[in-house]
Amino acid sequence: MIKVKDICFSYDSVNRVILNNVGFDLDAGECLAILGNNGVGKSTLLKCIDRIHRIHSGSVIINGKDMHTLSRREMAQSIAYVPQNTASSHIMVFDAVLLGRKPYIRWDVGEEDKQIVSQIIERFGLLGYKARYLDELSGGELQKVVLARAMAQQPVFLLLDEPTSNLDPRNQHEMLNNVRTLAKEHGMGVAIVIHDLNLAVRYCDKFLFLKDGHAYSYGGIETVTPKAIEAVYNMKAEIIEHRDIKMIIPY
């Protein structure tokens, strides 16, 4: 369904390649964790996929369509991107999530749009916030609203850049569980830049380790090994199982 192939990118002001022939593929309903040290190009990869950065070579194919040939409206109907940080504004939560329907609205907001937004607001536990303004929310609450807005786009491919960074442990698990469930329900592919390896192995199906601008390894849970963790993070770790859940313990 989704194929990212041989992405190459470098900033003009930096005399080094940031991404060198990086790629992956996802089937409907799969979640991918993009892993690696700070500065390795994880966020840059998401921006290349979303056409925020112009890639030097490579392609992004979704359901047989090359993303670099689509109009902005078609892109917005295919890909939703949630960045690390989003500025708040004096707009109500319901209206902020409704903005996710913009790629589908031609003349005016319809009942279907309002119904979709209401369902997503309830799904993300935001019913008590829908009449509040974004600039009244905490960082974690704002992050949930931004993700809800992305889900309102009903994308084929969802890109999340550190979506749990401002959330407490309970909300981290709740958010990622919602994302995984919605991905499977709607046949959506999800790529998540995430630093918490334990959250990654619990909620993701595939794993892309980046090192020095290259893909060190890519695949299923079998690719998450002590050897890979040491090579990518320069950190020794043991992997154990508890109640059928894999846990990574650094030492």
Query: What's the pLDDT score for residue 9?
Result: 94
Low-confidence ranges of the chain (pLDDT < 50): none
Which residue range(s) make up the domain with 182?
Answer: 2-85+155-250
Residue 76 lies in a domain: yes
pLDDT single digits (tens) 151-172? 999 999 999 999 988 888 998 9
- Mean pLDDT value across the chain: 91
166 within some domain:
yes
Total of domains in the chain: 1
Residue 110 lies in a domain: no
DSSP letter (8 states) at residue 100: G
Give me the residue label for tokens 């990869």: 45
Q: What is the reported pLDDT for 110?
A: 83
Q: What are phi and psi of 155, to 5 degrees?
A: -75, 165
Residues 6+ apart with CB under 8 A from 91: 133, 134
Is there a domain that residue 102 lies in?
A: no
The reply to whether 234 falls in a domain is: yes
pLDDT tens sequence across 238-250: 999 988 889 999 9
| Domain membership flag for residue 142 | no
Domain membership of residue 103 (yes or no) is no
User: Quick one: tokens of 69?
Assistant: 């040939």
- In this prediction, residue 13 carries a pLDDT of 67
Q: Give domain status of residue 68, yes or no.
A: yes
* CATH number of residue 81's parent domain: 3.40.50.300
Whole-angstrom distance, CA of residue 54 vs CA of residue 3: 17
